[in-house]
Amino acid sequence: MNQSEELRMTYSGIITKKDQKIVHVFFERGKDYAEGSLPSGKIEKSSGFSPAELKLLSHYLLQNAEDIIEHARHVDPLRGFMGKTET
């Protein structure tokens, strides 16, 4: 990955869709972005990342799924919606 810009990851709270719990994960690097989800680990949308980088991001999601999902349990969707992201 391009070392000159920082890669930032954010994630949603847990969303229940058709009886499945899903977490949406967003990666940003400058103007580049990738959107994936757990538990599938699939990258669903992207721009600016190479196919090899997308494969690495997907692998990262799968390897860290348990930790990301645990952190997502503590996301307050109303707090984020209202712009209050500080704890």
Q: Phi, psi at residue 67, to the nearest 5°?
A: -65, -45
What is the Rg, in whole angstroms, of the alpha carbon atoms belonging to the chain? Answer: 13
Question: Distance between CA atoms of 78 and 5, rounded to whole angstroms?
Answer: 30
pTM equals: 0.80
Q: Break the chain into its structural domains and give their ranges.
A: 8-74
Half-sphere exposure of 78 (CA within 13 A, CB side): 0
Per residue of the chain (87 residues), what is the pLDDT tens digit?
A: 545 689 999 999 998 888 999 999 999 999 999 999 999 999 999 999 999 999 999 999 999 999 999 999 988 765 555 454 443
